């Protein structure tokens, strides 16, 4: 699942990696959409983290379709 923080809370894109591997067109399209949003947000300065239960979050530069959850946070500045 890709979750992008925004003023609306978070926007979500979900996909089924197993079905995508079997060539399910809907699952493949969902991954492509998540990848597109990931690239778009990164271009805007957002940072992406791979988040898994019980593990420290990991900053990632490339979209990872195998990630259980990717959380994207907008660009930050010193206040």
Partner 1 sequence: MFTTLEWLVILAAISPVVWLVVQPYLRGWSRADRRATHLLRDVLTPEQWHQVLWHGYLEVPSPSAQGRVYRVPRARGAFVQVIENGKAVMRLCVQPVERLPEADILLLHKLMIEANEEHYLQKANKYLCVDQPFSSIHPDE
Q: By CB under 8 A, which span of 19-27, 34-42, 45-53 interacts with partner 1? A: 45-53
- Rule CB under 8 A: is residue 62 a binding residue for partner 1? no
Binding mask 5-44 for partner 1 (x = CB under 8 A): xxxxxx----------------------------------
C-alpha dihedral sign at 56, 44, 75, 72: negative
Query: 20-55 as b/e, with b when 16 or more CB fall inside 10 Å?
Result: beeeeeebbebbeebbebbeebbeeebebbbbeeee
Provide the binding-site residues for partner 1, judged by CB under 8 A: 3, 5-10, 45, 47, 49, 51, 54, 56-59, 69, 71, 73-79
């Amino acid at each position: 699942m890709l979750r992008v923080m925004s003023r609306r809370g978070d926007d979500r894109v979900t996909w089924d990696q197993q079905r995508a591997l079997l060539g399910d067109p809907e699952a493949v399209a969902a991954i492509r959409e998540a990848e597109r949003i990931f690239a778009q947000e990164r271009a805007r300065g957002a940072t992406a983290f791979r988040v898994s239960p019980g593990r420290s979050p990991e900053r990632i530069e490339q979209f990872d379709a195998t990630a259980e959850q990717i959380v994207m946070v907008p660009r930050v500045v010193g206040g």
